[in-house]
């Protein structure tokens, strides 16, 4: 009996040592990405303008890196907060830790070179070598044309500096170890010509990270490739309500298979109508995390390109319950 207990004790100690060694190995050898490139971006007016369009209406960087007012439908940006960061994503929203959107105005990124910003955006690795939680969809940005990333960097460099000290994000264990292994070098592509609507639409759909929200995930938070664009991913609000993304495949019953190009474009552009006012939303009522006001500013040609690409997506039946109110504690 004593011998068996001793053997079990040795095995337990060995297991603990293996875990410690494994954690140490990951901590000291990851993330594994290339060094930041030696890069100086010429911040021309054309670059800044293109970057402003992308960051505000396609990649919607300012969506997370500003303060959004969720007392109104779809949480429009609070004036004066563009790029200042500070939005919190925590346990009340289903995240494994507390994550803060960083200040990306010049006041917040002054210690980054252009090359370090490029690596951060396309791989998720900071200038200190830390891996970011993939709340920012850097894996999608890593598949963009570098010229578009340069334009975004030129734009954020042009923002009005806002002094806003943002706390460091903190992931729960073991996510804090696992996330070190997630970043990888990007796979940049050349931007397709705008006249090739399918290819250009596919490019924009990646840049907008549509799949990230419109695809269900497994328990590890990884999107399910065989359910791509079929909707149903859950997003919890701090009040306990849950909103789910729509099915945007070509399924005619639960997706957008019956939508015309005009219907698709109007769905976005309606929010720019001068007569439209975002409705007030009380806690516990239906709201949307989709930044409609930002995407509404996308060029009509680009929306048509996205629609054309989505027409090539295979239909996946998936009826989505879009909203669940908070569960009463009474």
Helix (H, G, I), strand (E, B) or coil at 222: coil
Q: How large is the average pLDDT for residues 187-194?
A: 97
Percent of the chain past pLDDT 90, that is, above it, reads 83
Q: What is the DSSP string of 174-207?
A: THHHHGGGS-------PPPPTT-HHHHHHHHHHH
pLDDT of residue 261: 98
Per-residue confidence band for 329, with pLDDT thresholds at 50, 70 and 90: very low
Asked whether residue 330 carries a pLDDT value surpassing 60, the answer given is no
Instruction: Report the chain's mean pLDDT, rounded to a whole number.
Output: 92
Asked whether residue 194 carries a pLDDT value surpassing 50, the answer given is yes
pLDDT of residue 7: 63
Per-residue confidence band for 87, with pLDDT thresholds at 50, 70 and 90: confident
pLDDT of residue 274: 84
Instruction: Give the helix ranges, DSSP H, for the chain.
Output: 2-29, 45-57, 61-64, 106-109, 114-123, 138-141, 146-158, 175-178, 197-207, 210-213, 261-269, 292-295, 300-310
Q: Who wins on pLDDT, 39 or 19?
A: 39
Q: Kindly list the distances between the CA atom of residue 272 and the CA atoms of 114, 163, 269, 292, 306, in Å, as whole numbers in the listed order.
A: 34, 31, 5, 9, 19
Model confidence pTM above 0.75: yes
Residue 125 near residue 25, CB atoms below 8 Å: no
Tokens of 124: 């998720």
Q: SS3 helix, strand, coil % of the chain, rounded to 5?
A: 40, 5, 55
Q: Kindly list the distances between the CA atom of residue 181 and the CA atoms of 29, 117, 123, 169, 329, in Å, as whole numbers in the listed order.
A: 9, 20, 11, 17, 39
pLDDT of residue 20: 61
Residue 152 near residue 41, CB atoms below 8 Å: no
pLDDT of residue 86: 77
Q: How large is the average pLDDT for residues 234-250?
A: 95
Residue 8 near residue 162, CB atoms below 8 Å: no
Residue 83 near residue 67, CB atoms below 8 Å: no
Q: Who wins on pLDDT, 83 or 18?
A: 83
């Amino acid at each position: 009996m004593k011998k068996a207990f001793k053997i079990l004790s040795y095995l337990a100690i060995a297991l603990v040592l293996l875990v410690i060694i494994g954690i140490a190995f990951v901590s000291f050898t990851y993330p594994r990405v290339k060094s930041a490139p030696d890069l100086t971006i010429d911040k021309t007016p054309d670059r800044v303008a293109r970057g402003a369009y992308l960051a505000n209406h396609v990649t919607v960087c300012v969506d997370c890196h500003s303060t959004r007012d969720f007392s109104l439908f779809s949480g429009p940006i609070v004036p004066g907060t563009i790029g200042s960061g500070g939005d919190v994503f925590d346990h009340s929203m289903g995240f494994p830790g507390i994550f803060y959107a960083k200040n990306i105005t010049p006041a917040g990124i002054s210690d980054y070179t252009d090359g370090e910003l490029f690596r951060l955006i396309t791989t998720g690795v900071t200038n200190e070598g830390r891996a970011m939680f993939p709340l920012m969809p850097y894996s999608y940005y890593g598949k963009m044309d570098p010229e578009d990333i340069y334009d975004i960097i030129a734009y954020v460099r042009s923002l009005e500096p806002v002094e806003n000290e943002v706390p460091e994000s903190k992931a729960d264990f073991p996510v804090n170890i696992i996330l070190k292994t997630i970043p990888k070098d990007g796979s940049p592509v050349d931007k397709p010509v705008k006249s090739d609507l399918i290819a250009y639409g596919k490019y924009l759909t990646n840049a907008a990270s549509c799949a990230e929200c419109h695809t269900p995930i497994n328990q590890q938070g990884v999107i399910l490739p065989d359910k791509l664009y079929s909707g149903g991913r859950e997003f919890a609000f701090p009040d306990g309500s849950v909103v789910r993304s729509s099915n945007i495949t070509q399924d005619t019953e639960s997706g957008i298979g019956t939508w015309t190009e005009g219907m698709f474009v109007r769905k976005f552009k309606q929010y720019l109508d001068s007569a439209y006012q975002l409705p007030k939303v009380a806690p516990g009522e239906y709201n949307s995390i989709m930044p409609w006001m930002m995407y509404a500013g996308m060029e009509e040609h680009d929306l048509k390109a996205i629609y054309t690409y989505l027409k090539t997506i295979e239909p996946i039946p998936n009826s989505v319950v879009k909203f669940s109110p908070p569960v009463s504690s009474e």
